[in-house]
Amino acid sequence: MTALADQPHIMETEHFEEAARIFARLERGARLEFIDGKIRSKAVPDRDHGRIMEWLTRICVQARPELRLHSDQGLKVQAHRGGRARPDAELVPSGAFAGQGAWAAFDPVLMVVEVTSHDSDTDQRDRVEKPRVYAETGIPLYLLVDREACQVSVHSEPDGGRYEVMHTVSYGKKLHLPAPVGITLETEQLKDWVN
């Protein structure tokens, strides 16, 4: 089933959603996305990936207790193509996804987060497709924790098909997440999770 998911296919959004539900039950933790009319599989996160998400969750909750960093919530993206993305996390006001099911509206999302994986398409997916898709959708911020490059980037000011501003720092330096988030990340601890 995984090999099938790695092949680009054109299908309707509702058929994709049903396939994603079945795939998740069969592959235990594997996740599918539907971007640009094509099905893509997303690697199951490793332990260091999980530690990075714990680190970021702690920072966000301490700095902005009215917000929640959700993981494993699917988002409806690309309105004209019926896209479906599974960011590693979304920063939203508490309760924003209540009652929305597996694929939530993007409107309340302040920031999406991706942590690179060690798979063959992470470069295309996390560094090219995802920033474009999230900018097209109008999500204010895209945070990329790039474990291969040992860098953290924040993309801001979405303008149709791209983010106008990108600020990147190496692990160990401070990174300010602009409005609407307004949090500064101390990235020193990320050095512990390089593999």
Domain ranges of the chain: 45-193
- Give the pLDDT confidence of 55-74 residue by residue, as tens digits: 999 999 999 999 999 987 99
Taking residues 142-152, report their average pLDDT: 94
Query: Is residue 132 within 8 Å of 159, Cβ to Cβ?
Result: no
pLDDT value at residue 157: 97
Are the C-beta atoms of residues 5 and 44 closer than 8 Å to each other?
A: no
- Residue 143 pLDDT exceeds 60: yes
CB 28 within 8 A of CB 71: no
| Band of residue 4 on the pLDDT scale cut at 50, 70, 90 | very low
CB 150 within 8 A of CB 170: yes
48 pLDDT band, cuts 50/70/90, is confident
pLDDT tens-digit map of 85-129? 889 999 999 999 999 988 999 999 999 999 988 766 666 777 888
The two three-digit tokens of residue 67, written as one number: 């917000």
The architecture that CATH gives domain 45-193 is Alpha-Beta Complex (3.90)
Q: What is the dihedral of CA 164, 118, 47, 63, to 10 degrees?
A: -10
> Which of 12-26, 35-49, 78-92: highest mean pLDDT?
78-92
> In the prediction, which pLDDT does 153 show?
97
Segment 153-156 long-range contacts (CB within 8 Å, at least 24 positions apart): 154/178, 155/131
Closest CA to 143 of 115, 174, 109, 118: 115
Residue 40 pLDDT level (bands cut at 50, 70, 90): confident
Alpha carbon distance 93, 69 (integer Å): 9
Torsions phi, psi of 116, nearest 5?
-60, 150
Copy the structure tokens of residue 40: 């893509």
Indicate whether this model's pTM tops 0.95.
Answer: no
